[in-house]
Structure 1
């Protein structure tokens, strides 16, 4: 297999980041035909299809491997230029893609990036995904690092523990009076409406199974962390909320904790590429420090 040029690797990154050949062409200041020719040349060199011509474009498994390589080359180049210049690369900001679950993004993660972009000469592309699925973005090469529940390192990555994100089962007082009149008996949760983030969110269902042995009631789907918490306060249903989003409301009576002795702890880990990169080291250090103050220790 032939080697790939830096222009080709940059083209692959642009196609995936922008979603179409036309948008990638605009980013790289070339024609869409030139983008297509570069991708075809890469596929000929690899001997297999790399890019699916969908809307937006997606990668084949072989394309995932090459995208990871392309992003690693870009990261190493940025580190090198930064070291030579003793500072950010002359205004050329590296785009750092990271995968983060919605609850971390809404509560503690953004604080870890405060002032980091300017310090590193980088911008951040945050992919919001369920903590059990962020690892798929890392494996595909879409992101450089991810907050995940997966402890075992995937190939080419290293893992470090961040801490435990603690959730509390809560509901509005009027909702409890209507649907759980025998509170703290939780048997009624098998019929009571529940607020669920999306169809991959199993947290509430697992809680009901553990506490009652049954399945949960009908679900409202609210796929935005702030709106999710707001839906619970408004009484649409009960749910498990991160402590950062419900402790004050429990204290002032806006929410009722359904099972104070049974919080749910979700272990979070930081997985990142196993590269000697000062930039990625700095991001990892900032995330680790923010997690230490926001999460419960293992």
Structure 2
């Protein structure tokens, strides 16, 4: 199967842009040319590669080709750099969970840009779902809770994020006067990051809760911690988010028990200096961070 590189680039551009028209503008060609290239790919592989939705989405076959297009772009950059050519600044798409992004991940990006004039496209997703972005070719690497490597990827451990149950002092006095009883855990409001956040409910079940407690959804890491600190509900916070409040008495640790979430770094299995640079920077940032044990 012979797939011209410009056709693969066009497919990736369409998926990124969401429409054929916007992809055509980005590529500097006509929408008709984009459509012809997509049809040519589909004829060559004998499968539909795009779902003509709004925005367009790659089919399973299309995801494999988008991933190939982006891997070829990485290898092309590495080759041009090795030859001494003036390669354009690479665009590095990564997936990372919100808590990692706010606590330890950013120094890794700084370390890369000190070595290379790269730009980043960060996709913030729950650590349980970042691996899917790697699988469908949206990103080249991801911080994920999934240990098993995605097909065509390498997986290495980063460490564990340790979450501590925290509540504002007045909130704890109101809802937990007798400690972490089953009734208190089922009645006290919790703060969840999003609809898929299970940290708080997992902790509550571990301590005897059977029914779900009322939940607030705060889908921003800084505001999530602030909601707990102000007494909207109780929640699992990371080191660095609660120590000052515990020290001044405004916050209390509900239990010495913690919830640990192991994190893994998954990346495409390519012999790539660019990917090596990013991976080394991420590993260094995780190792030197107080948020990762």
Shorter chain as denominator, the TM-score bin is: over 0.9
User: Which residue is 1:150 aligned to?
Assistant: 146
Is the CA contact (8 Å cut-off) linking 1:168 and 1:263 kept in structure 2? yes
Question: Which has the higher mean CA deviation after the structures are superposed, 249-258 or 58-67?
Answer: 249-258
Structure 1 Cα separation of the partners of residues 14 and 245 of structure 2: 45
**Equivalent residue of 2:164, what SS?**
strand
Partner of residue 259, structure 2:
264
TM-score, normalising length: structure 2: 0.95
Please tell me whether the aligned partners of residues 64 and 141 of structure 1 are also in contact (alpha carbons under 8 angstroms): yes
**Partners of 2:180 and 2:207 within 8 A in 1:** no
RMSD of Structure 2 on Structure 1 (CA):
1.6
Matches within 5 A, 1:97-136: 97-117=93-113, 119-136=115-132
Q: Distance in 1 between matches of 2:247 and 2:159?
A: 24
Cα deviation, residue 115, structure 1? 4.4
State the distance in 2 between where 1:247 and 1:112 align.
24
Label 1:31 to 1:214 Cα distance change in 2 as closer, same or farther (>3 A).
same
Instruction: Give the aligned partner of residue 17 of structure 1.
Output: 16
Aligned to 2:6: 7
> Runs of 5+ in structure 2 lacking a partner?
none
Compute the displacement of 1:185 (Å).
Answer: 4.8
Contact 1:98 1:126 in 2 (8 A): yes
CA distance 1:21–1:118, change in 2 (3 Å): farther
Q: CA deviation at 1:215?
A: 3.1
Please tell me whether residue 290 in structure 1 is matched to residue 281 in structure 2: no
1:167 is displaced (CA, Å) by 0.6
Structure 2 CA distance for aligned equivalents of residues 213 and 234 of structure 1: 24
Distance in 1 (CA, whole Å) between partners of 2:29 and 2:114 is 29
Q: Structure 1, unaligned stretches of length 5 or more?
A: none
Is the counterpart of residue 281 in structure 1 residue 280 in structure 2?
no
* Contact 1:194-1:216 within 8 A present in 2 as well: no
Deviations 1:129-186 (A, max 9, x none): 1101111111111111110111121221111110110111111112112222223556
- The SS at the match of 1:237 is coil
CA deviations on 1:37-59 (whole Å, 9 max, x unpaired) are 21111111111111111122111
Aligned match of 2:195: 199
- Which of 198, 210, 227 aligns to 1:214? It is 210
Given that 1:208 and 1:215 are in contact with CA atoms closer than 8 Å, whether structure 2 keeps it comes out as no
Partner of 1:138: 134
Give the corresponding residue for 1:236: 232
Residues 117 and 18 (structure 1), Cα distance of their counterparts in 2 relative to 1, 3 Å cut: farther
Structure-2 separation of matches of 1:35 and 1:249: 56
Taking the aligned partners of 1:7 and 1:292, their CA distance within structure 2 comes to 40
Using structure 1 for the length normalisation, give the TM-score.
0.93
CA distance in 2, matches of 1:149, 1:115: 24
Q: Aligned residues, how many?
A: 292
